[in-house]
């Protein structure tokens, strides 16, 4: 059995953590993988910490990323980085909010999707799958801003990869 890719998305209620994990799991599902996406969102609208686990691969059993086994940790709020760092496996990739310059986004609310753009640079899912996932998870009027944010995140991640 090939192990699934483990991703944890973390942030605060209202930042779009769950929307980002919806888009990610939709992109993986459209790419033909088994997918499970799990979160606790009982109190999420009240500004508290929110995390969402997404796992995809040829087979996914438990819906939760086992502690310390995340391949990727995507964090939307600066103060949630340390809280969640323990989720990452040794050698796992942290995608932190300081990677994105929010002033370059046509709509700052698309910050979650910008970080997905950065994540996408590591995952190898087709760009057209991502676009379709964004389209299926968001209302049409938000598509241009989110596609721009996604591209900006992807560019930022690529630029960071090139750094020595």
Partner 1 sequence: MNSTERQLLSGDSAIALAALHGGVALGTGYPGTPSTEILEYFSHIGGKAQWSPNEKVALEVGIGVAYGGARSLVTMKHVGVNVAADPFFSVAHTGVVGALVVVSADDPGMASSQNEQDNRRYAVAAAVPMVEPADSQEAYDFTLAAIEISERWKIPVLLRVTTRVCHTQAPVLPRAAVPPPQPHFEHDLRGRNLIPSNARPAHRRLRQKLSELTDWSETTPLNQIFSGDKKLGIITSGVCFMHAREAAPDASFLKLGFTHPLPLKKIAEFVRSVERCVVIEEGDPYLADAIRAAGLKVESKPEMFRFGELNVDRVRRILAHDPSPEPTRPPGKPPELCDGCGHHVVFQALKNLDCIVAGDIGCYALGVLPPYSAMDCCVCMGSSIGIGLGLRQVLPPAEAKRVVSVIGDSTFVHSGMTGLAEMIYNPPPTGHVVVILDNSTTAMTGHQEHPGTGRSLDHAATGKVIYEDLGKALGIEEVRVFMLGKDCAEFQQVLADALASEKQVLIIARRPCVLAAKSIREYEKCALANGGCCS
One symbol per residue from 1 to 40: x for binding partner 1 (CB under 8 A), - otherwise; what is it? x----------xx--------x--xx--x----xxxxxxx
- x-or-dash string of contact with partner 1, 71-110, rule CB under 8 A: --------xx-xx--x------------------------
Nearest-approach distance from CB 106 to partner 1, in angstroms: 23
Instruction: Tell me the C-alpha to C-alpha distance, in Å, between residue 143 and each of 73, 82, 119, 122.
Output: 25, 32, 19, 22
How deeply is 6 buried, as exposed, middle or buried, from its count of CB atoms within 10 A (0-12, 13-18, 19+)?
buried
Please identify, using beta-carbon distances, which residue of 41 and 160 lies nearer to partner 1: 41
Sign of CA dihedral 135, 137, 141, 147: negative
| Beta strands in the chain, from DSSP E residues, in sequence order | 5-12, 34-39, 49-57, 70-75, 88-95
- CB of 45 or CB of 106, closer to partner 1: 45
Site residues (CB under 8 A) for partner 1? Answer: 1, 12-13, 22, 25-26, 29, 34-49, 51, 60-64, 66-68, 79-80, 82-83, 86
């Amino acid at each position: 059995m090939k192990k699934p890719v483990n991703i944890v998305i973390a942030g605060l209620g209202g930042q779009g953590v769950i929307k980002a994990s919806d888009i990610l799991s939709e992109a993986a599902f459209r790419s033909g993988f088994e997918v499970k996406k799990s979160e606790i969102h009982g109190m999420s609208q009240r500004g508290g910490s929110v995390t969402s686990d997404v796992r995809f691969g040829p087979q996914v059993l438990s819906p939760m990323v086992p502690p310390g086994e995340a391949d990727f940790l995507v964090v939307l709020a600066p103060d949630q980085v340390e809280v969640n760092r323990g989720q990452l496996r040794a050698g796992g990739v942290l995608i932190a909010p300081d990677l994105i310059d929010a002033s370059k986004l046509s709509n700052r609310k698309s910050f979650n999707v910008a970080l997905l753009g950065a994540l996408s640079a590591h995952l190898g899912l087709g760009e057209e799958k991502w676009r379709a996932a964004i389209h299926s998870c968001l209302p049409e009027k938000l598509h241009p801003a989110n596609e721009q944010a996604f591209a900006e995140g992807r560019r930022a991640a690529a630029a960071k990869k090139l750094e020595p």
